[in-house]
Amino acid sequence: MKWSECRELYPNQFVKLKVLSSYIESGQEFIKDIEVIKPVSDEWPLNIFTAKTAWII
C-alpha cells in the first residue's frame, strides 16, 4: 500500500504501520510501501517510532 492510499482509508487518524520497502537517498530514508497494522486511538500511548521493528505510528 502507498501512503496516499493509507491517508484515503484513514483520514485524520494515527495508524500503526509496518514499512515493507524503502530506500535511502542523500542520507534520507524514503518509504515506498507500507502495511497498515491498525488505526490508533488518540488515547493510546503514542510511541512515535519503535526502533526494534519496522513499525511506525
Domain that holds residue 31: 3-56
Give percent of the chain above pLDDT 90. Answer: 44
Q: State the total domains in the chain.
A: 1
Residues in contact with 12: Cβ distance below 8 Å, sequence separation at least 6, in sequence order: none
Predicted confidence at residue 55, as pLDDT, reads 59
How many CB atoms are located within 10 Å of the residue 17 CB?
A: 21
Predicted confidence at residue 12, as pLDDT, reads 87
Does pTM surpass 0.75? Answer: no
Instruction: Tell me the average pLDDT of the chain.
Output: 81
